[in-house]
Structure 1
Amino acid sequence: MSHKQESRERCARPLIRLAKAVGVSTSYVGMSNDYHEIADDVLVSVLAALGIDAHDEAAVETSLKTVLDGEHRRLVAPTVLHVEGADSKVLVNAGVLDIPSATITLEDGTDYGRTLAPAAGDGSAAYWLDGGFVTTSAVTIPADLPIGYHTLHVTVGDRTEDATLISAPRRIELVDAMKDGRLWGWMAQIYSIRSRDSWGVGDFADLRTMLTDARRHTGADFMLVNPLHAGEPVTPLTPSPYLPISRRFLNFTYIRPEAIEEYGLLGAESLERVRQLHDSVRALNANADHIDRDAMWAAKMQALWIIFKVGRTPERQARFDDYKRRAGEGLEAYATWCLAYDKWGAPTGDPQSWIATESKDSPRVNDLRNRYPDTLDFYRWLEWIADEQLDAAQRAARDEGMHLGIMADMAVGVHPLGSDVWWNPERYAKGATVGAPPDMFNQQGQDWSQPPLNPISLKNTGYETYREMVRGMFAHAGAVRIDHILGLFRLWWIPSGKGAKNGTYVMYDSAVMLGILAIEATRAGAVLVGEDLGVVPDYVAKSLADHGVLGCAVEWFEQFDGVFRDPRHWREMALASVDVHDMPPCAGYLQYEHVKVRAELGLLEGPVEQFREGAEREQKSMLRMLVNGGWLPSEWAADVPGHLDDIVRAMYRAMTASPCKLLAAAIVDGVGETRTQNQPGTNNEYPNWRVPLADAAGDAVPVEGLFERPGMQALADILNA
């Protein structure tokens, strides 16, 4: 179609009005500026996933009236946002002659101490409801309201309603070291980097060592790590860190048993058994071909049970009890899910699976908890220990002098059969998953299999789920990277059975979600980075910049029409890197590893020769940019195989010429690794998230001495220059 907006006739249709009223997009413009109108059956299915009936014209009319009546029947929206530093208005639905009043209970339970002044409404037309007209007035939230999650009490006549009042900073301030300068750090897939004392998979103790060694030997200020969200309790373990069971809790398979305080209480027999278990998987640390999580966990879990059963001192038990109290119902959700998985087996999509037949309140679930109290407490304990060990790693990093320490990575969603969805299914859409529409790279679109958070539930519950998750992310990190940050604005919902290209965007209240991020980042004194690669609408880019959220700049992606941009022209508010985990490291990319892998796996839509030619043009364009910028001699550019390391370092010199406030070096580039960690479009066809760190010769690279290796030192010298 030539026009890029819907017709007046289409917008007047009840189905379209209903969809728009609840934030469901009825059209969109794609990556190639192509305009699409969403088919009726897709809209009906997406509305159903939101719990709204639109199966026929009568249902649409009824649902539209229900939605509009509901919005006007409430005195005040269930969640309202205030931005610190300026007065703001909260709209109130009331009769024409009614004057609202309001008070605030602060987050700590104390009274704000004053009644809010009434104000004029937004001038919207009166709405007929229950035999009378409803119009809008307002109350004023003062500029000096402190940041936090407060309760607003609104009264009109003899009615009083409460709302969650989120008072957020205007923006996230940069840490002091970034205001007049910038920081740099390393990117690490921690499971892939093992030490002599690992159990075959990198763990929290290895992370602690890497953080302190990185600071001591290279001067780095942070380490961006893969998502550390919670996973399954027993094997087989899901390799992908981006498909977690819960984003609220940690993956306890990263625990180092010997670093637990109670390890010192073991008797001789128990100590010997733990050592035997460790010895059974120690050889995995030198395996350069694949990461064997299942073998690791089969041994480590037995060792952890032995340590758990030895008991705790009264002081340690008190700390464990305090953790359980603070973690609250969320911990019960995850621990109970783990127990059910342990005793009843892995949940499946079968209607007879326990995940479908049982809920948190089921008699069978309560009976299970009562029959296995020790096992239930074991899963609580594992989370506590994981929390302690990650905290110890972050504290060690800061004590060593890192300005940020850990940069945590937040996945975009959770597993559809995980604990978050099972315990609180009302918080998620039913019958839809998240993905991406078709584009030039994925002509059928993408389905990430994750159920989206229900935006209506978020608003009605004061964004409690999101607040808890974000708070947990900042608990042990000096920075957080949010995967697919565009999801705070809109997500591509795919109705079950319709395929990724037959979906639509559902809108979220980005102002509220960014406000929550600003509160938690400010309280933690931390930095926020949003993964905003690809096509970003102008309004999204402006909103992120206004909130002090850094974006991402990847050197291999900073190109337009086949011409690479000089890094000196990149934006300042960004985390810059040369590559990412979804592509081969620099050495591999320069040797066309991506061409080889995609051809072998049958991922190419055209001839391999055609793809190879495109890759060669891209490489020549990159080399041209490096030569023109003065970072690479032209004779080296003419001999890539003979100057592979030199070219990699030239790319890093170019990146450091950018004005970006954060720079990230990939450990894989410092050791000469060529293999990618994740090949998009595959599952088990490629060993995604199971590739150990190895050097150019194919030998496993251990944690010990990692940051003293010549290649790592060479990159550090460039970034410290």
Structure 2
Amino acid sequence: MPNEPQTDQSQRTESAERLARPLIQLANLWGISTSYIDQVGTYVEIADDSLVTVLGALGVDATSDELIDAALDRKRADLHKQLVQPTIVKFTGVENPVEVRVPAGATPTVSISLEQGGQGAADLATLEFAANDDDVDVYTLTISDELPEGYHHLKVSDGSNEAESTVLRAAASIPLPPSMDRQRWGWMTQMYSVRGADSWGVGDYGDLKRLAADAAAKSGADFMLINPIHASAPITPLEPSPYLPESRRFLNVTYIRPQDIEEYVELANEHTEQAQTVVGEVQALHARVADDNLSPDPLNINDAWDAKREALQIIFNIPRSAERQQQFEDFKKQAGEDLEAFALWSVAFEVWGAPWNAENDWFHKYTKSSPEVQQLKAEHHDLFEFECWLQWIAAEQVGAAQQAAKDNGMALGLMQDMAVGVHTYSSDVWWSPERFAVGQVTVGCPPDFYNQQGQDWGQPPFNPNYLEATGYQVYRDMVHNMFSRAGAIRIDHVLGLFHLWWIPAGKGPIAGAYVRYNHEAMLAVLTIEASRAQGMVIGEDLGTVPEFVRTVLSAHGVLGADVEWFARVNNSGNAGDPYMPPSDYRKFALASVTTHDLPPTAGYLLYDHVALRDELHLLNDVESFRKSAEAEQKAMLDLLTSGGWLSAEAAADVPNHVQEVVEAMHRMLKATPSLLLQAALVDGVGERRTQNQPGTSTEYTNWRVPLCGPDGKVVPTEQVFDLPRVQALSAIMNA
């Protein structure tokens, strides 16, 4: 049996001999792709040992030929006698016949319980005999378009056994919001990087509120795309990457602005000695880190949170009115068990310490059923309540930022970014490990041009079988929560709706395999939630993405992502190949000049990405990468000059005309038919430094680079949209 990946430039599919092998058949039955086509069109076969490890992560022992044969027999038998699948997807106008399999001679019955309450009419779900399959009769279950959009429960009985399914009933496509009557544009920013006088050394929700309001009122922007604001650990040291959160269900409380909390505002307006004492304590804590707001050095996220957390504990103890306390109680009730999980996990961190070391690994030692965990809650109830309160306050402040954006004229407001997954030690994994494939695999992506060694993001993937068995409830809750305080959601690595690259522990990204997910189910959830919020969904579909994925997403109203530096003719992955004219960009897309994983455009034009990757030893062949980058830039300049967006003089001397090239690339962006256009705030102010270098963690100051101008000085929140450079770029986007 082959043990290494096989690659072939001419071969496109697996041979009949390979497909006949029991291991290959078992992997495919469990949703594991045993081959793929990489970014430059090379056919790649997945090695046996990778398939065995990934099967093991799904709970299937395939470590010997005998075990493979037994597992294959069990899987086929289970599918043969499955009464009905646990999740059913029904899009308007799309026939989706579902098999119901009952013992030969049995007569199945079906009923539907509606999300809104009550039972659905009999004609909403009908059964029709289709065929006999040995000892099983097969019926076809048809869901009517008359079933209301939403989440419903269906029961099927064969007279002896009963099975339940969740029906995800969605429109055929996400409808465009009424505000999308014309092309709209907005800013992209890493909100933590933009700080004002009232910040605590790190950009926060108060800064976000000001940025959103000013972006609308002063620059005419219709949305603001921000980094993920999913929850982080409760104590320092913090994980700096917003793309490696501890929970995607809840919010990052380190971004709270203490001075904006209602109880503190009221107390600050009082003139009693007690009130002024409390206010003075908070002000003193703020003063401890306020000088960092003007520092161009990497953000000191740990000192900032240590000071802010003390202030928040002081404010938590300020008495709340009966009305405010009721609002807090209602928030806890609505958030349910997931909030209890996150709050208890946070308390465990604070009381027991971080579980990274084996001698303190409470994460693996205790579960939600352990008496020690319930004792922890009882003994530290105030701390538990504090963690719940932080989530309530964060939700209020993000909601206030969204409201400020809309009040000042934004069509969409906040565009929240959805990370691919969560940290291995996250609250989600601790409380509900059954949701994930943990221990043996992590998520990443295979090698491509921009990341020659591939990427390992260190995150445990969702278990697709759990999602299917539970009607995607955890995904529904997450999407609903994000849309409650946003006008749009951007899904990072949207390919994850279709499949994720699972990497066996210790093997490196090249040894991974794609595991398939039910993209129709997740698209149905996105459609339902976006429709209810009159919102939009954007899928980051860059890199190694099959064309059928883009076709499916577009058909369902999910906008793609077109980036000028990647938009080559025929989607070529070869640097130096011609760039497509802006008229060929997709209409249903968010088009931009750059992304958060590239240097700001000024830095990219000056080859900062080449120098940085070389310095960090991320390149297999430095000289080759440099030549490719030069060819890439020449192709871009050729398009800009031929289209009339840039003068030949500027193209011939880029180092002395960087800003002209930046503005020319945005003028070209305006010539696209794309519904949404995006400008990066770093391009507006003239920043050069990279926010994130893929393929690194501690080797580079990822996600800690403050917003600065070309002079290296910090650009404060209050001044961003008054800068002449930002105003000039805004004028281009508004033209």
Same fold (TM over 0.5): yes
Where 1:564 maps in the other structure, the secondary structure is coil
8 Å CA contact 2:454–2:695 kept in 1: the answer is no
User: What does residue range 67-466 of structure 1 map to in structure 2 within 5 Å?
Assistant: 67-85=75-93, 88-114=96-122, 116=124, 118-120=126-128, 126-127=133-134, 133-178=135-180, 180-263=181-264, 264-265=266-267, 267-348=275-356, 350=358, 353-430=361-438, 431-466=440-475
CA deviation map 1:178-234 (0-9, x unaligned): 2x4211000110000001111111111111111111111111100000000000101
Match of 1:575 in 2: 590
8 Å CA contact 1:564–1:621 kept in 2: the answer is yes
8 Å CA contact 2:94–2:172 kept in 1: the answer is no
- Separation in 1 of the partners of 2:643 and 2:598? 24
Cα displacement (A) at 1:312: 1.1
8 Å CA contact 1:334–1:419 kept in 2: the answer is yes
Query: What code does the residue aligned with 2:82 have?
Result: R
Where 1:535 maps in the other structure, the secondary structure is coil
- Match of residue 544, structure 2, among 535, 538, 543: 535
8 Å CA contact 1:100–1:139 kept in 2: the answer is no
Where 1:501 maps in the other structure, the secondary structure is helix
Counterparts in 2 of 1:93 and 1:322: CA distance versus 1, 3 Å: same
8 Å CA contact 1:433–1:494 kept in 2: the answer is yes
- Separation in 2 of the partners of 1:48 and 1:296? 42
- Separation in 2 of the partners of 1:65 and 1:465? 31
Query: What code does the residue aligned with 1:457 have?
Result: Y
Where 1:176 maps in the other structure, the secondary structure is coil
- Separation in 2 of the partners of 1:695 and 1:102? 64
Cα displacement (A) at 1:115: 5.2
Residue 643 (1) aligns with residue 657 (2):
yes
- Separation in 2 of the partners of 1:286 and 1:346? 31
8 Å CA contact 2:126–2:143 kept in 1: the answer is no
- Separation in 2 of the partners of 1:119 and 1:599? 63
8 Å CA contact 2:353–2:360 kept in 1: the answer is no
Match of 2:271 in 1: none
8 Å CA contact 2:224–2:415 kept in 1: the answer is yes
- Match of residue 592, structure 1, among 607, 611, 623: 607
Where 1:556 maps in the other structure, the secondary structure is coil
Match of 2:709 in 1: 695
Match of 2:688 in 1: 674
Cα displacement (A) at 1:117: 5.7
CA deviation map 1:261-314 (0-9, x unaligned): 111237221111001001111101101122111111111000000000122111
Query: What code does the residue aligned with 1:593 have?
Result: D
Counterparts in 2 of 1:336 and 1:10: CA distance versus 1, 3 Å: same
8 Å CA contact 1:84–1:145 kept in 2: the answer is no
Residue 481 (1) aligns with residue 490 (2):
yes
Match of 2:4 in 1: none
- Separation in 1 of the partners of 2:11 and 2:512? 21
Counterparts in 2 of 1:349 and 1:97: CA distance versus 1, 3 Å: farther
8 Å CA contact 1:88–1:143 kept in 2: the answer is no
Query: What code does the residue aligned with 1:400 have?
Result: N
- Separation in 2 of the partners of 1:657 and 1:118? 50
Match of 2:5 in 1: none
Query: What code does the residue aligned with 1:644 have?
Result: V
Counterparts in 2 of 1:197 and 1:441: CA distance versus 1, 3 Å: closer
Cα displacement (A) at 1:122: 6.0
Q: Which 5+ residue runs of structure 1 have no aligned equivalent? A: 128-132
Cα displacement (A) at 1:9: 3.0
- Match of residue 492, structure 1, among 494, 501, 517: 501
8 Å CA contact 1:99–1:118 kept in 2: the answer is no
- Separation in 2 of the partners of 1:255 and 1:206? 10
Cα displacement (A) at 1:553: 0.8
Residue 45 (1) aligns with residue 53 (2):
yes
Where 2:173 maps in the other structure, the secondary structure is coil
Counterparts in 2 of 1:374 and 1:538: CA distance versus 1, 3 Å: same
Counterparts in 2 of 1:657 and 1:7: CA distance versus 1, 3 Å: same
Quote the sequence identity (%). 51
- Separation in 2 of the partners of 1:137 and 1:657? 53
Query: What code does the residue aligned with 1:601 have?
Result: L
Query: What code does the residue aligned with 2:224 have?
Result: M
8 Å CA contact 1:87–1:143 kept in 2: the answer is no
- Separation in 2 of the partners of 1:320 and 1:486? 37
Cα displacement (A) at 1:607: 4.2
Moved more, 443-452 or 114-123: 114-123
Cα displacement (A) at 1:464: 1.2
- Separation in 1 of the partners of 2:463 and 2:208? 35
- Match of residue 470, structure 1, among 476, 479, 486: 479
- Separation in 1 of the partners of 2:333 and 2:394? 16
Cα displacement (A) at 1:119: 3.9
User: What does residue range 499-648 of structure 1 map to in structure 2 within 5 Å?
Assistant: 499-559=508-568, 560=572, 561=574, 562=576, 563-608=578-623, 610-648=624-662
Query: What code does the residue aligned with 2:143 have?
Result: I
- Separation in 1 of the partners of 2:718 and 2:622? 44
Match of 1:130 in 2: none
Moved more, 532-541 or 32-41: 32-41
- Separation in 2 of the partners of 1:450 and 1:299? 29
- Separation in 2 of the partners of 1:340 and 1:371? 11
Moved more, 397-406 or 28-37: 28-37
Cα displacement (A) at 1:636: 2.1
CA deviation map 1:501-524 (0-9, x unaligned): 112111111111111111111111
Cα displacement (A) at 1:622: 1.4
- Separation in 1 of the partners of 2:713 and 2:581? 35
Cα displacement (A) at 1:42: 1.8
Query: What code does the residue aligned with 1:517 have?
Result: L
- Separation in 1 of the partners of 2:605 and 2:15? 49
8 Å CA contact 1:183–1:662 kept in 2: the answer is yes
CA deviation map 1:373-430 (0-9, x unaligned): 0001100000000001001111111122211000000000110011011111011013
RMSD (CA atoms):
1.7
Cα displacement (A) at 1:469: 1.1
Where 2:139 maps in the other structure, the secondary structure is strand
Cα displacement (A) at 1:87: 5.8
Counterparts in 2 of 1:117 and 1:507: CA distance versus 1, 3 Å: closer
Aligned length: 713
Moved more, 338-347 or 261-270: 261-270
Moved more, 501-510 or 113-122: 113-122
Counterparts in 2 of 1:650 and 1:87: CA distance versus 1, 3 Å: closer
8 Å CA contact 2:354–2:360 kept in 1: the answer is no
- Separation in 2 of the partners of 1:213 and 1:174? 25
8 Å CA contact 2:38–2:544 kept in 1: the answer is no
8 Å CA contact 2:419–2:492 kept in 1: the answer is yes
CA deviation map 1:430-459 (0-9, x unaligned): 311111123344443321111110111111
Structure 2 length-normalised TM: 0.94
Moved more, 78-87 or 454-463: 78-87
Cα displacement (A) at 1:614: 3.2
